[in-house]
Amino acid sequence: YNGNALSCGYFSNNSTNNLDAVGGIVLSTGFVNDISNPSSYFGNINTGGPGNSLLQGISGTIINDAAVLEFDLIPSFDTLSFSYIFASEDYPQWVGGDSLFQDYIGIFISGPNPVGGNYTNQNFALVPETNQLVIVNNVNSNKNAQYFIDNASSPLMFDGFTTTLQVNIPVVANEDYHLTIAIGDGGDRTSDSGIFLKSKSLTSQSGLTGIYPINQNRTFNIYPNPSKNNIHAECKDGYKIFNASGR
């Protein structure tokens, strides 16, 4: 982790804060302890945090108060997935404003690209089915509104945030990758933002692995799930189970 020590922490959900995530890690351009204030509170902290060249590269603006989490990983299958929520005090006043003064997030990966060559800090923090960056100008009540939640009143500081967004990254199984998750203030050090990383959502999956239901009315149960050792499968006839190689 790189950033102010008070800009990274854990969060847990309750039934009133509108977040579609039971818990996980949160990074902020302010102080994470402020997030539990109600939406009437204005989060506007200068953390003195560093800039970030990766965020600057995708935004074209100066980045301040960056909070960056990065680590190495080896996926077991051909797709790397996880879920996150972007939230910001830039809502609603900076919607339609100068993009040089908005907050930016990035989910950058480096490692083998299954179609050839390598990813070199390629950003996957994009509005689903588009090449648009996840910022307040691209996700709000008027644009890509299906991914926006107006947080007018709840015990959560940010005035607006996205629905849970899922990243799916094609990868090569059993190869080394480096993942960097970053957030920063764009152009200034005002109006805090956060990225919530959903607990237990980081997984690798295979398009060749799955349970094929021939008859949807028949039952199937597998437990424990997840498991590191033996698993038990209970089913009636009518299912085919494939392993990672498609057999």
What is residue 214's predicted lDDT score, i.e. its pLDDT?
47
d(CA 118, CA 96): 35
169 — pLDDT class (breaks 50, 70, 90): very high
40 — pLDDT class (breaks 50, 70, 90): confident
For the cut 80, the answer to whether the pLDDT of residue 54 exceeds it is yes
- Averaged pLDDT, 25-38: 94
For the cut 90, the answer to whether the pLDDT of residue 19 exceeds it is no
Identify the weakest region by mean pLDDT among 60-64, 197-201, 209-213: 209-213
d(CA 55, CA 185): 10
What is residue 225's predicted lDDT score, i.e. its pLDDT?
64
For the cut 50, the answer to whether the pLDDT of residue 120 exceeds it is yes
More confident residue, 231 or 90: 90
- Give residue for tokens 């799955």: 210
35 — pLDDT class (breaks 50, 70, 90): very high
What is residue 244's predicted lDDT score, i.e. its pLDDT?
60
Identify the weakest region by mean pLDDT among 115-119, 209-213, 225-229: 209-213
Q: What is the mean pLDDT of the chain?
A: 87
What is residue 15's predicted lDDT score, i.e. its pLDDT?
56
d(CA 207, CA 212): 12
Say if CB 108 and CB 198 are below 8 A apart: no
What is residue 227's predicted lDDT score, i.e. its pLDDT?
62
What is residue 175's predicted lDDT score, i.e. its pLDDT?
95
The values of phi and psi at residue 238, to 5°, are: 120, 10
Percentage of the chain exceeding pLDDT 90: 64
Say if CB 184 and CB 52 are below 8 A apart: yes
For the cut 90, the answer to whether the pLDDT of residue 243 exceeds it is no
d(CA 219, CA 22): 28
d(CA 39, CA 23): 19
182-210 pLDDT per residue, tens? 999 999 998 999 999 999 899 988 754 44
What is residue 208's predicted lDDT score, i.e. its pLDDT?
44
The values of phi and psi at residue 155, to 5°, are: -75, 55
**CA-only gyration radius of the chain, Å:** 20
Say if CB 204 and CB 226 are below 8 A apart: no
Residue type, 216: Q
Percentage of the chain exceeding pLDDT 70: 85
